[in-house]
Amino acid sequence: MEVITELTIRMARENPRWGYTRIQGALHNVGHRVGRTTVANILKAHGIDPAPERGKRTTWGQFLKAHWSVLAAADFFTVEVWGPRGLVTFYVFFVIELATRRIDVAGITASPGEPWMMQIGRNLTDPIDGSLAENRFLILDRDTKFTVAFRGLLTESGVEVVRLPYRSPNLNAYAERFVRSIKDECLSRMIFFGERSLRKATREYAAHYHRERNHQGIDNRLIEADDRAKLPFSAIECAHRLGGMLRFYHRGAA
């Protein structure tokens, strides 16, 4: 009976629209003859709702899986930069494609007001080279910089905004992971004097991130691989960026 119970629960959770009779039939297909009432009692005992109610709810994991290839997430992170009058907080806004892990550093500014955000929105949704041109959904947290006007611009351009609950960074885990990576591997190890130095470091890290850094989430591969790593008989060379802070080992030209 334990096997039947586990299988009944599994079928119900993996198929939210399956009712008691459908699950009963599926169990019969794999050699378990049980009554419809037995299925109902098992699900009730484990707090699992009947199909009409169960089917109305979609878990976060189910949503991600269903829309994986057209999902992106966006977020800000801050960096302190020395200027003529002391430290200035700069805001870096980026978008990450969940399926490919490709990122777009969409803007860097010390004043992320609504006019700036609206221009960023227009850039992102440009039909020719906007990084959201191929994405239907954009995950955003409740940051006040994501104004009604900004969200409306995205919606009018065909991008559906998915707003996360307050204080739920775990639901934007891919964006959070990129922030940790760029800070741990690069930005937190540097002192910036002027906006130009921050822009250069961010640009160099983005190039490294796409072409030279392996990513566990995509089978430990490079996002933008080239032939340098595949030449079998040439010498192994080390390329570096930012004075050796970021390194990449590859085969030299044949």
Containing structural domain, residue 47: 2-57
Q: For 123-165, write each residue's pLDDT tens digit.
A: 999 999 999 988 899 999 999 999 999 999 999 999 999 999 9
98 in the same domain as 43:
no
95 in the same domain as 193:
yes
Q: For 70-111, write each residue's pLDDT tens digit.
A: 999 999 999 999 999 999 999 999 999 999 999 999 999 999
138 in the same domain as 24:
no
pLDDT above 90 (res 14): no
6 in the same domain as 123:
no
Can you give the pLDDT at residue 189? 96
Distance, in Å, from the CA atom of 252 to the CA atom of 233, rounded to the nearest integer, reads 9
Among 59-63, 73-77, 107-111, 180-184, the range scoring the smallest mean pLDDT is 59-63
Can you give the pLDDT at residue 56? 57
* Tally of structural domains, the chain: 2
Band of pLDDT at residue 243, cut at 50, 70 and 90: very high
80 in the same domain as 53:
no
Can you give the pLDDT at residue 158? 94
198 in the same domain as 100:
yes
Q: Has residue 219 been placed in a domain?
A: no
7 in the same domain as 100:
no
Q: What is this structure's pTM?
A: 0.77
Please name which of 210, 177, 245, 217 lies closest in space to residue 104, comparing C-alpha atoms: 210
The CATH number of the domain holding residue 201 is 3.30.420.10
Q: What whole-number percentage of the chain has pLDDT above 70? A: 93
Can you give the pLDDT at residue 64? 84
Q: Has residue 124 been placed in a domain?
A: yes
79 in the same domain as 19:
no
Can you give the pLDDT at residue 53? 62
Length of the chain: 254
Mean pLDDT, rounded, for 234-242: 88
* Mean confidence (pLDDT) of the chain: 90
